Amino acid sequence: MNNYQQQLECCRTAADYIRPRLKKPPKIGIILGTALGSLADEITAAVQFPYREIPSFLQSTAPAHAGLLINGCLAGQDVICMSGRFHYYEGYSFAQLAAPIQLFKLLGVQLVIITNAAGAINLSYQPGDLMLISDHLNFMGAAPTRGPNPEEFGPRFFDVSRVYAPDLRLLAKELAGSIKANLHEGVYAYMTGPQFETPAEIRALRTLGADAVGMSTVPEVLAAAHCGLPVLGISVLTNMASGILPVDAPISQVEQIGNIAAADLATLIKGVLAALP
């Protein structure tokens, strides 16, 4: 299984394949989470790369994930967008989960927008709301950069205290009025899944300061911090987390509510893009 340095070498091969085929050298990288892929349809002047055609790249196995890398223009910005992401529960190592970020960095991206579907832990949140990620809890041992460190790519030890860039969050909050959904700001707890959490785990995570829980994002954010990319992270809260309501974890709600809230998420992201220099 690849470590971070080996994965970076694979991404160099992938980047060498993609670079001459780009329509617009991208400044912004976007990762779209479960059921949130519709934004990708709005990218204009686009060129698409199915993951299976990109040499040395990972293959997406999750349902509701398209498996496409798309380069083009969105709200006036040159972007590269991953419609379909990779999760630890699919069998990848944490190092492999860094691949999208490594690829973005090698293609010249300067900022990443990462989205996900998440369960709400904060009792004042509702399904269909959005949450700007201000910080995360990672008790999964997830460290994509473990192993030999490619110094030319990023330092061995690195700061993650401001990786969810405060200025980008401020900008997103200024745009909250343009969407129907409530926009919160809170702490995302990472659980690797694929099982949903137990009610006891959710109570514990609430006690520890989590506002939402999900099975993605943190490995990518750690990789972004390593190579110095600022992150805007946004969760679509598709359900109340386990044990909050007197029902089983509403797994079918994830896609259903995700599809509805995707419109607000798209409006918010396009607003942020339009406001960036």
Least distance in Å: CB of 121 to ligand HPA? 9
- Residue of 214, 152, 225 lying closest to 187 (CA atoms): 214
User: How many other β-carbons are positioned within 10 Å of the β-carbon of residue 138?
Assistant: 16
By CB under 6 A, which span of 55-63, 95-103, 172-180, 234-242 interacts with ligand HPA? Answer: 234-242
Cα 207 to Cα 155: distance, rounded to the nearest angstrom: 33
Name residues contacting ligand HPA, limited to 172-191 (CB under 6 A).
191
Residue 128 interacting with ligand HPA (CB under 6 A): no
| Choice between 147 and 193, CB closer to ligand HPA | 193
Name residues contacting ligand HPA, limited to 135-174 (CB under 6 A).
none
What is the number of the residue whose Cβ is closest to ligand HPA?
119
By CB under 6 A, which span of 4-12, 82-90, 117-125, 148-156 interacts with ligand HPA? Answer: 117-125
What are the angstrom distances between the C-alpha of 66 and each of 69, 86, 126, 192, 234?
A: 9, 11, 27, 21, 19
Least distance in Å: CB of 68 to ligand HPA? 21
Q: Are 98 and 153 in contact (CB under 8 A)?
A: no
| Choice between 39 and 103, CB closer to ligand HPA | 39
φ, ψ of residue 3 to 5 degrees: the values are -90, 180
Name residues contacting ligand HPA, limited to 201-230 (CB under 6 A).
213-215
Cα 134 to Cα 96: distance, rounded to the nearest angstrom: 24
Q: Mask of contacts with ligand HPA, 57-86, x by CB under 6 A?
A: ------------------------------
| Choice between 101 and 213, CB closer to ligand HPA | 213
Residue 30 makes CB contacts below 8 A (sequence gap 6+) with: 39, 74, 79, 80, 81, 82, 112, 113, 114, 115, 269
- Residue of 55, 81, 78, 54 lying closest to 66 (CA atoms): 81
Residue 114 interacting with ligand HPA (CB under 6 A): no
| Choice between 26 and 119, CB closer to ligand HPA | 119
Q: Mask of contacts with ligand HPA, 238-257, x by CB under 6 A?
A: xx-x-------x----x---
Q: Which of 95, 111, 118, 163 binds ligand HPA (CB under 6 A)?
A: 118
- Helix crossing, 99-106 with 218-226: angle to 10°? 40
φ, ψ of residue 52 to 5 degrees: the values are -65, -20
Residue 197 interacting with ligand HPA (CB under 6 A): yes
Q: How many residues bind ligand HPA (CB under 6 A)?
A: 14
DSSP per-residue letters across 140-169: S---TT-SS--TTTS-SS---TT-B-HHHH
Q: Give the number of C-alpha atoms closer than 13 A to the C-alpha of residue 191, restricted to the C-beta side.
A: 19
Residues that bind ligand HPA (CB under 6 A): 117-119, 191, 196-197, 213-215, 238-239, 241, 249, 254
